[in-house]
Amino acid sequence: MDNAIYIVFSATPTGMGRLIRGATRNRYNHVSLSLSRDIRKMYSFARLHRTIPLYGGFVVESILRYQSFAGTAKVKICRVEVPEQELTYLHNDLERLWNEREEYIYNTPAALASLVHLRPAISKAYTCVTFVQGILSQYGLAGVIENDSPTVRALERRLVPYVIYEGPAPASAQDWGEDAYPAQTTTRYAVYTTARHFGRLALRVLTGAA
Protein backbone atom coordinates (compact mmCIF):
# COMPACT_ATOMS: atom_id res chain seq x y z
CA MET A 1 0.00 0.00 0.00
CA ASP A 2 1.26 3.47 -0.89
CA ASN A 3 1.12 5.34 2.43
CA ALA A 4 1.06 8.79 0.84
CA ILE A 5 -1.18 11.50 -0.49
CA TYR A 6 -0.60 13.53 -3.62
CA ILE A 7 -1.05 17.28 -3.78
CA VAL A 8 -1.79 18.41 -7.32
CA PHE A 9 -1.22 22.00 -8.45
CA SER A 10 -2.83 22.79 -11.79
CA ALA A 11 -3.12 25.54 -14.36
CA THR A 12 -6.77 24.91 -15.14
CA PRO A 13 -7.64 25.36 -18.84
CA THR A 14 -10.56 27.74 -18.31
CA GLY A 15 -11.16 31.46 -18.67
CA MET A 16 -11.44 31.79 -14.90
CA GLY A 17 -8.16 29.93 -14.43
CA ARG A 18 -6.36 32.21 -16.87
CA LEU A 19 -7.84 35.26 -15.13
CA ILE A 20 -6.62 34.08 -11.72
CA ARG A 21 -3.14 33.31 -13.04
CA GLY A 22 -3.00 36.75 -14.61
CA ALA A 23 -4.01 38.42 -11.34
CA THR A 24 -1.62 36.41 -9.17
CA ARG A 25 1.20 36.08 -11.72
CA ASN A 26 1.54 32.49 -10.63
CA ARG A 27 1.92 29.48 -12.90
CA TYR A 28 -0.78 27.51 -11.09
CA ASN A 29 -4.21 28.61 -9.91
CA HIS A 30 -5.75 25.48 -8.38
CA VAL A 31 -4.78 22.71 -5.96
CA SER A 32 -6.33 19.32 -5.24
CA LEU A 33 -5.62 16.23 -3.15
CA SER A 34 -5.44 12.68 -4.46
CA LEU A 35 -5.01 9.36 -2.70
CA SER A 36 -3.34 7.69 -5.68
CA ARG A 37 -0.21 8.40 -7.69
CA ASP A 38 -2.08 8.32 -11.03
CA ILE A 39 -4.31 11.20 -9.74
CA ARG A 40 -7.29 9.83 -11.67
CA LYS A 41 -9.50 10.96 -8.78
CA MET A 42 -8.89 14.13 -6.76
CA TYR A 43 -10.64 16.02 -3.96
CA SER A 44 -10.96 19.78 -3.80
CA PHE A 45 -13.26 22.78 -3.56
CA ALA A 46 -14.07 24.06 -7.03
CA ARG A 47 -16.87 24.71 -9.50
CA LEU A 48 -19.32 21.84 -9.78
CA HIS A 49 -20.13 22.28 -13.48
CA ARG A 50 -18.04 23.57 -16.35
CA THR A 51 -20.81 25.94 -17.48
CA ILE A 52 -21.39 27.57 -14.05
CA PRO A 53 -18.10 29.14 -12.91
CA LEU A 54 -19.38 30.81 -9.70
CA TYR A 55 -21.27 27.85 -8.22
CA GLY A 56 -18.88 25.62 -6.28
CA GLY A 57 -18.36 23.31 -3.37
CA PHE A 58 -16.68 20.06 -2.36
CA VAL A 59 -15.99 18.02 -5.49
CA VAL A 60 -14.42 14.75 -6.53
CA GLU A 61 -12.52 15.77 -9.62
CA SER A 62 -11.67 13.50 -12.51
CA ILE A 63 -8.33 14.16 -14.20
CA LEU A 64 -10.44 14.58 -17.35
CA ARG A 65 -11.21 18.11 -16.11
CA TYR A 66 -7.65 18.94 -17.12
CA GLN A 67 -7.62 17.07 -20.43
CA SER A 68 -10.88 18.20 -22.00
CA PHE A 69 -12.63 21.17 -23.55
CA ALA A 70 -9.81 23.74 -23.53
CA GLY A 71 -6.70 21.59 -23.89
CA THR A 72 -4.43 19.72 -21.50
CA ALA A 73 -3.47 21.52 -18.31
CA LYS A 74 -0.02 21.72 -16.79
CA VAL A 75 0.23 20.13 -13.34
CA LYS A 76 2.75 19.78 -10.52
CA ILE A 77 2.40 16.70 -8.31
CA CYS A 78 3.81 16.47 -4.79
CA ARG A 79 4.01 13.22 -2.80
CA VAL A 80 3.62 13.51 0.98
CA GLU A 81 4.03 10.41 3.11
CA VAL A 82 1.32 9.72 5.70
CA PRO A 83 1.44 7.15 8.53
CA GLU A 84 -0.91 4.25 7.81
CA GLN A 85 -3.26 4.97 10.74
CA GLU A 86 -3.60 8.64 9.83
CA LEU A 87 -4.24 7.67 6.20
CA THR A 88 -7.19 5.56 7.35
CA TYR A 89 -8.57 8.54 9.28
CA LEU A 90 -8.09 10.74 6.22
CA HIS A 91 -10.01 8.29 4.03
CA ASN A 92 -12.85 8.46 6.55
CA ASP A 93 -12.77 12.27 6.66
CA LEU A 94 -12.97 12.51 2.88
CA GLU A 95 -15.82 10.01 2.76
CA ARG A 96 -17.69 12.03 5.39
CA LEU A 97 -17.19 15.24 3.43
CA TRP A 98 -18.51 13.57 0.30
CA ASN A 99 -21.57 12.20 2.08
CA GLU A 100 -22.26 15.67 3.55
CA ARG A 101 -21.22 17.62 0.45
CA GLU A 102 -24.50 19.52 0.20
CA GLU A 103 -23.54 21.36 3.41
CA TYR A 104 -20.14 22.48 2.11
CA ILE A 105 -19.74 25.38 -0.31
CA TYR A 106 -16.99 27.27 -2.05
CA ASN A 107 -15.73 30.27 -0.06
CA THR A 108 -15.82 32.88 -2.83
CA PRO A 109 -14.99 35.84 -0.50
CA ALA A 110 -11.90 33.98 0.74
CA ALA A 111 -10.77 33.33 -2.84
CA LEU A 112 -10.91 37.07 -3.52
CA ALA A 113 -9.34 37.97 -0.16
CA SER A 114 -6.45 35.58 -0.76
CA LEU A 115 -5.10 38.09 -3.29
CA VAL A 116 -4.19 40.24 -0.27
CA HIS A 117 -3.34 37.20 1.93
CA LEU A 118 -6.51 37.34 4.05
CA ARG A 119 -8.62 34.33 5.08
CA PRO A 120 -12.24 35.25 5.93
CA ALA A 121 -13.76 32.33 7.83
CA ILE A 122 -17.24 31.17 6.84
CA SER A 123 -18.88 28.07 8.31
CA LYS A 124 -18.37 24.96 6.15
CA ALA A 125 -16.95 27.02 3.28
CA TYR A 126 -13.49 26.54 1.79
CA THR A 127 -11.35 27.37 -1.20
CA CYS A 128 -9.13 24.77 -2.84
CA VAL A 129 -6.14 26.13 -0.89
CA THR A 130 -7.77 26.34 2.54
CA PHE A 131 -9.13 22.81 2.08
CA VAL A 132 -5.74 21.27 1.22
CA GLN A 133 -3.91 23.38 3.82
CA GLY A 134 -6.47 22.32 6.41
CA ILE A 135 -5.90 18.63 5.67
CA LEU A 136 -2.10 18.96 5.79
CA SER A 137 -2.26 21.01 9.01
CA GLN A 138 -4.77 18.70 10.69
CA TYR A 139 -2.56 15.66 10.10
CA GLY A 140 0.74 17.45 10.77
CA LEU A 141 2.09 16.94 7.26
CA ALA A 142 4.81 18.75 5.29
CA GLY A 143 5.24 21.39 7.99
CA VAL A 144 2.00 23.12 6.98
CA ILE A 145 0.33 25.10 9.77
CA GLU A 146 -3.13 26.62 10.01
CA ASN A 147 -1.84 30.20 9.82
CA ASP A 148 0.09 29.75 6.57
CA SER A 149 -0.72 32.27 3.85
CA PRO A 150 -3.88 31.03 2.06
CA THR A 151 -2.48 31.20 -1.47
CA VAL A 152 -1.51 28.64 -4.09
CA ARG A 153 1.92 30.24 -4.37
CA ALA A 154 2.62 29.93 -0.62
CA LEU A 155 1.52 26.29 -0.50
CA GLU A 156 3.51 25.52 -3.64
CA ARG A 157 6.66 26.94 -2.01
CA ARG A 158 6.04 24.93 1.17
CA LEU A 159 5.84 21.70 -0.85
CA VAL A 160 8.92 22.19 -3.04
CA PRO A 161 10.79 19.28 -1.37
CA TYR A 162 7.94 16.91 -2.20
CA VAL A 163 7.65 17.48 -5.99
CA ILE A 164 7.73 14.26 -8.03
CA TYR A 165 6.36 15.43 -11.39
CA GLU A 166 5.73 18.59 -13.37
CA GLY A 167 4.29 18.64 -16.87
CA PRO A 168 1.08 17.87 -18.82
CA ALA A 169 -1.76 16.26 -16.86
CA PRO A 170 -1.34 12.49 -17.23
CA ALA A 171 -3.86 10.59 -19.33
CA SER A 172 -4.96 8.20 -16.58
CA ALA A 173 -8.77 8.11 -16.73
CA GLN A 174 -11.38 6.90 -19.20
CA ASP A 175 -14.54 8.18 -17.51
CA TRP A 176 -15.72 11.02 -15.29
CA GLY A 177 -16.69 8.87 -12.30
CA GLU A 178 -18.46 10.96 -9.63
CA ASP A 179 -17.42 14.23 -11.27
CA ALA A 180 -20.43 16.17 -12.60
CA TYR A 181 -18.22 18.78 -14.32
CA PRO A 182 -19.27 18.04 -17.94
CA ALA A 183 -23.02 17.95 -17.24
CA GLN A 184 -25.13 20.16 -19.49
CA THR A 185 -27.07 22.82 -17.59
CA THR A 186 -29.74 25.34 -18.49
CA THR A 187 -29.46 29.10 -18.10
CA ARG A 188 -32.27 28.98 -15.55
CA TYR A 189 -30.41 26.39 -13.47
CA ALA A 190 -27.19 28.40 -13.69
CA VAL A 191 -28.89 31.57 -12.47
CA TYR A 192 -30.69 29.71 -9.67
CA THR A 193 -27.63 27.85 -8.36
CA THR A 194 -25.38 30.92 -8.53
CA ALA A 195 -27.93 33.08 -6.69
CA ARG A 196 -28.48 30.36 -4.09
CA HIS A 197 -24.72 29.96 -3.62
CA PHE A 198 -24.19 33.65 -2.84
CA GLY A 199 -27.33 33.72 -0.72
CA ARG A 200 -25.98 30.87 1.42
CA LEU A 201 -22.64 32.66 1.76
CA ALA A 202 -24.37 35.87 2.85
CA LEU A 203 -26.52 34.01 5.36
CA ARG A 204 -23.50 32.31 6.90
CA VAL A 205 -21.60 35.56 7.14
CA LEU A 206 -24.53 37.25 8.91
CA THR A 207 -25.75 34.44 11.13
CA GLY A 208 -23.45 31.45 10.89
CA ALA A 209 -26.39 29.38 9.66
CA ALA A 210 -26.23 26.77 6.93
First vs last C-alpha separation in the chain? 38
Please say if the pLDDT value at position 131 is more than 90: yes
| pLDDT recorded at residue 209 | 55
Q: What integer pLDDT is reported at residue 67 of this predicted model?
A: 80
Torsion of CA 71, 30, 36, 55, to 10 degrees: -90
- Please tell me which residue, 175 or 81, carries the higher pLDDT value: 81
Residue 1 has pLDDT above 60, yes or no: no
pTM of the model: 0.91
pLDDT given at position 174: 78
Q: Which of 79-83, 96-100, 121-125 has the lowest mean pLDDT?
A: 121-125
Q: What is the pLDDT of residue 160?
A: 97
Q: Are strands 52-62 and 41-49 parallel, antiparallel or unpaired?
A: antiparallel
Higher pLDDT, 186 or 25: 186
Q: What percent of the chain has pLDDT over 90?
A: 70
Higher pLDDT, 73 or 55: 55
What pLDDT is stored for residue 162 in this prediction? 98
The pLDDT, as a whole number, for residue 170 is 87
Question: Average of pLDDT values for 74-81?
Answer: 96
Residue 113 pLDDT: 75
| All structural domains of the chain with their residue ranges | 4-207
Query: Of 7, 5, 35, which Cα lies nearest the Cα of 152?
Result: 7
Q: Is the pLDDT of residue 163 over 60?
A: yes
From 137-141, 170-174, 198-202, the region with the lowest mean pLDDT: 170-174
Average pLDDT, the chain: 90
Say how far residue 41 (Cα) sits from the centre of its chain. Answer: 12
Quote the pLDDT of residue 110. Answer: 85
